[in-house]
Amino acid sequence: MGERILMRGNEALCEGAIIAGCKYYFGYPITPQNEIPAYMANRLPEVGGVFLQAESEIASINMIWGAGCAGKRAMTSSSSPGISLMQEGISYLAGAELPAVIVNMVRGGPGLGNIAPAQSDYFQSTRGGGHGDYYVIVLAPATVEELTHMMVDAFDLADIYRTPVIVLGDGVLGQMTEPLVLPEPSTRVIPEKDYILDGAKNRKPRTIKSLRLAPQQALEDHNMELKKKYEEIMKKEVRYEGYMIDDAEIIVVSFGTSSRVCKSSIQMVRENGIKVGMIRPVTLWPFPSEIISDLAKNTGVRAFLDVEMNYGQMIEDVKLSVNGEKEVHFYGRTGGMLPDENELYNKIMEVVNEYCIQET
Amino acid sequence: MNIVYRRPESLKKKTMHYCPGCGHSIIHKLIASVIDELQIREDTIIVSPVGCSVLIYDYFECDGTESAHGRAQAVSTGLKRVQPDKLVICYQGDGDLAAIGTSETIHSANRGENFTVIFVNNAIYGMTGGQMAPTTLIGQKTQTSPFGRDPVLAGYPLKMCELLNQLKAPAYIERVSVHDVKNTIKTQKAIKKGLSYQMNGMGYSFIEVLSMCPTNWGTAPVQAAQWVKEHLASYYPLGVFRDNGASEEYK
Ligand SMILES: Cc1ncc(C[n+]2csc(CCOP(=O)(O)OP(=O)(O)O)c2C)c(N)n1
Going residue by residue through chain B, which has 251 residues, state the pLDDT in tens, using 9 for 90 and above. Answer: 788 888 999 999 999 999 999 999 999 999 999 999 999 999 999 999 999 999 999 999 999 999 999 999 999 999 999 999 999 999 999 999 999 999 999 999 999 999 999 999 999 999 999 999 999 999 999 999 999 999 999 999 999 999 999 999 999 999 999 999 999 999 999 999 999 999 999 999 999 999 999 999 999 999 999 999 999 999 999 999 999 999 765 55
Residue located nearest, by CA, to atom 13 of ligand 1: B125
Find the closest chain B residue to A60 by CA distance. B74
pLDDT at A356: 77
pLDDT at B91: 98
Architecture (CATH level 2) of domain B24-243 = 3-Layer(aba) Sandwich (3.40)
The binding-site residues of ligand 1, defined as CB within 6 angstroms of any ligand atom, are: B 50-53, 69, 93-96, 120, 122, 124-128, 133
Domains of chain A: 4-196+210-236 (3.40.50.970), 240-354 (3.40.50.920)
Distance B101 CA to ligand 1 centre (A): 10
> Is A197–B42 a contact, with Cβ atoms under 8 angstroms apart?
no
pLDDT at A1: 65
CA distance B62 to chain A (A): 5
Residue located nearest, by CA, to atom 23 of ligand 1: B128
pLDDT at B3: 85
Distance B29 CA to ligand 1 centre (A): 22
> Is A207–B104 a contact, with Cβ atoms under 8 angstroms apart?
no
Residue located nearest, by CA, to atom 6 of ligand 1: B128
Distance B94 CA to ligand 1 centre (A): 9
pLDDT at B251: 52
- What is residue B34's three-state secondary structure? helix
DSSP B166-226: TSSS-SEEEEEE-SSHHHHHHHHHHHHHHHHHHHTT---EEEEEE---HHHHTS-HHHHHH
Contacts of B78 in chain A (CB under 8 A): 24, 26, 62-70, 74
| Strand A4-8 relative to strand B205-210, pairing | unpaired
pLDDT at B248: 61
Q: How far apart are CA A109 and CA A115, in angstroms?
A: 9
| Three-state SS annotation for chain A | CCCEEEEEHHHHHHHHHHHCCCCEEEECCCCCCCHHHHHHHHHHHHHCCEEEECCCHHHHHHHHHHHHHCCCCEEEEECHHHHHHHHHHHHHHHHHCCCEEEEEEEECCCCCCCCCECCCCHHHHHCCCCCCCCCCEEECCCCHHHHHHHHHHHHHHHHHHCCEEEEEEEHHHHHCEEEEECCCCCCCCCCCCCCCCCCCCCCCCCEECCCCCCCCCHHHHHHHHHHHHHHHHHHHCCCEEEECCCCCCEEEEECHHHHHHHHHHHHHHHCCCCCEEEEEECEEECCCHHHHHHHHHCCCCCEEEEEECCCCCCHHHHHHHHCCCCEEEEEECCCCCCCCHHHHHHHHHHHHHHCCCCCC
Closest atom of ligand 1 relative to the B52 alpha carbon: 19
Strands (E), chain B: 44-47, 63-65, 87-93, 116-121, 172-177, 205-210, 239-243
- What is residue B247's three-state secondary structure? coil
Of A89, A201, A211, the CB nearest to B42: A201
Contacts of A206 in chain B (CB under 8 A): 63-64
CB atoms inside a 10 Å sphere around CB A177:
12
pLDDT at B6: 87
Find the closest chain B residue to A202 by CA distance. B42
pLDDT at B250: 53
The model's pTM is 0.97
Strands (E), B60-171: 63-65, 87-93, 116-121
Going residue by residue through chain A, which has 360 residues, state the pLDDT in tens, using 9 for 90 and above. Answer: 689 999 999 999 999 999 999 999 999 999 999 999 999 999 999 999 999 999 999 999 999 999 999 999 999 999 999 999 999 999 999 999 999 999 999 999 999 999 999 999 999 999 999 999 999 999 999 999 999 999 999 999 999 999 999 999 999 999 999 999 999 999 999 999 999 999 999 999 999 999 999 999 999 999 999 999 999 999 999 999 999 999 999 999 999 999 999 999 999 999 999 999 999 999 999 999 999 999 999 999 999 999 999 999 999 999 999 999 999 999 999 999 999 999 999 999 999 999 877 776
CA distance A58 to chain B (A): 8
Strands in B63-65's sheet, in edge-to-edge order, are: A207-208, B63-65, B44-47, B87-93, B116-121, B205-210, B172-177, B239-243
